[in-house]
Each structure stands twice: as C-alpha cells, then as structure tokens.
C-alpha cells in the first residue's frame, strides 16, 4: 500500500515464487531447482527454510487461505449489499485467473491430489470450508436485502457457486480464454439486480 518498498526476506520470496509456479504449472510442475533460480539462491538452501516440499506446500496453502479470508473480510468492509459482495467475489476469482494463465491455488492443488501430503489436504479442506461459510452469508444477505434473485437455500447456493467458480477457472485456463469464465458465470450474475 502506501508503505516504502520493504526488502523481501528469502522465506517470503520462496513462498511467492512457489505460489506463482504452482498456480500456473500445477503442483507437480515446479521444483526446488525452479524456485532456486527464480529467487536467486541454490536449491540446497531452500531446505533451510522449508525442510521438505510437503512443509512448503502446507505453508503455501495456509498463507493462501488466510489471504483469501482477509480478502473476504475486506469485501464485507467495502460493500454492503449481497449483490455487490457477490460481484466482488466473482472478480476475485477472475483476477486470480490472470488472463487464463493461472488458477486459484486450491484448484491447482486439488487436481494433483496423488502427490499431496495429508497435511496439505487438510489445509485444502479448511480453505473450502472457510469459503463456503462466507459465500453462504453473501447469499443470506442477498436474499434478505433483495439484491440476489431466487435464493432458496444459501448453503446449497454456496456449494454450487464455489464449484461453478472453480470449474469455470479450470475451463478458462485450459484454453487460456477468459470468455469461457465470463460465459459460465453470466447466468449467476444475471440473478443480481
């Protein structure tokens, strides 16, 4: 924000690089060698900060979850209607796509399940629970303030919406075509007014 540029510490630089790589290449698509080159240290040095790749992955997913949690909080602070909060959420997932080159970390990790440590899977579960809970409150509000049409059960709306957002990201990234994301989301957005 308005702050002076801080010298980024190595640990944070590693997390940043790993997140970028994982979100664009998939969990199996990045290596210690890639990270080392990107950050500018030798790959052996990475183990000083993260003993294993599993530990790194858990840290990534944890940081990502807390980041989205505060993004949701900020949406709540900025917008007051269900409609506006839903639009903001759709915008967050749109931005995460980065023009069809990147996925939400949760989507990226979910797909590579075979290579994931159980602790990472636990973090993924926490992430979805957090999102589902928050999205349900958005529909709850949209129902009561009348800015989202035809809301029956907010909890089921949340489940459908999260799947829709994640599925639309997957399709749009596969063909690097943002129009696929917009088309998949358009009927949901039509329900706001």
Partner DNA sequence: GTCTATACAGGGATAGAC
Partner DNA sequence: GTCTATCCCTGTATAGAC
The residues that touch DNA, with contacts defined as CB under 7 A, are 10, 30-34, 40-45, 47-49, 51-54
Binding partner of 76, given DNA, its own copies, none, CB within 5-8 angstroms per partner class: none
CB closer to DNA out of 34 and 140:
34
- Which residue in 37, 119, 145, 175 binds its own copies (CB under 8 A)? 175
Q: Find which of DNA, its own copies, none residue 166 binds, CB within 5 to 8 Å per kind.
A: its own copies
| Residue range at the interface with its own copies (CB under 8 A); choices 42-50, 53-61, 69-77, 148-156 | 148-156
Long-range contacts of 78-83 (CB under 8 A, 24+ apart): 81/141, 81/142, 81/145, 81/147, 82/138, 82/139, 82/140, 82/141, 82/142, 82/143, 82/144, 82/145, 82/147, 82/148, 82/192, 83/142, 83/147, 83/148, 83/192, 83/193
Question: Closest CB to its own copies among 59 and 185?
Answer: 185
- Residue 107 in the binding site for its own copies (CB under 8 A): yes
Q: Which is nearer to its own copies, 66 or 122 (CB)?
A: 122
Of residues 131, 129, 157, 164, the one with CA closest to residue 143: 157
Select 77 or 190, whichever has its Cβ closest to its own copies: 190
169: CB partners within 8 A, 6+ apart: 93, 96, 97, 103, 104, 107, 181
Minimum distance of its own copies from residue 154's CB (angstroms): 11
The count of chain residues that interact with its own copies, using the rule CB under 8 A, is 46
- Residues 6+ positions from 81 with CB-CB distance below 8 Å: 141, 142, 145, 147
Using the rule CB under 8 A, which residue among 9, 148, 168, 193 binds its own copies?
168
Calpha distance 156→9 (Å, rounded): 42
Among 7, 77, 186, 193, binds its own copies (CB under 8 A): 186
């Amino acid at each position: 924000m308005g702050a002076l540029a801080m010298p980024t510490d190595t640990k944070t630089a590693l997390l940043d690089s790993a997140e970028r790589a994982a979100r664009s290449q998939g969990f199996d698509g990045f290596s210690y060698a890639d990270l080392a080159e990107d950050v500018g240290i030798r790959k052996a040095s990475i183990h000083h900060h993260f003993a294993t790749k599993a530990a790194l992955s858990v840290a990534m997913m944890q940081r990502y979850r807390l980041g989205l949690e505060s993004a949701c909080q900020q949406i709540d602070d900025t917008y007051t209607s269900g409609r506006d909060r839903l639009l903001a959420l759709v915008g967050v997932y749109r931005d995460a796509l980065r023009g069809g080159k990147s996925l939400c970390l949760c989507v990226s990790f979910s797909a590579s399940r075979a290579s994931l440590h159980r602790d990472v899977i636990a973090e993924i579960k926490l992430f979805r629970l957090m999102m589902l809970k928050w999205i349900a409150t958005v529909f709850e509000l949209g129902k009561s303030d009348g800015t989202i049409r035809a809301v029956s059960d907010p909890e089921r709306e949340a489940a459908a919406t999260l799947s829709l957002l994640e599925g639309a990201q997957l399709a749009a990234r596969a063909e690097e075509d943002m129009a696929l994301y917009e088309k998949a989301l358009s009927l949901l957005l039509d329900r706001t007014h």
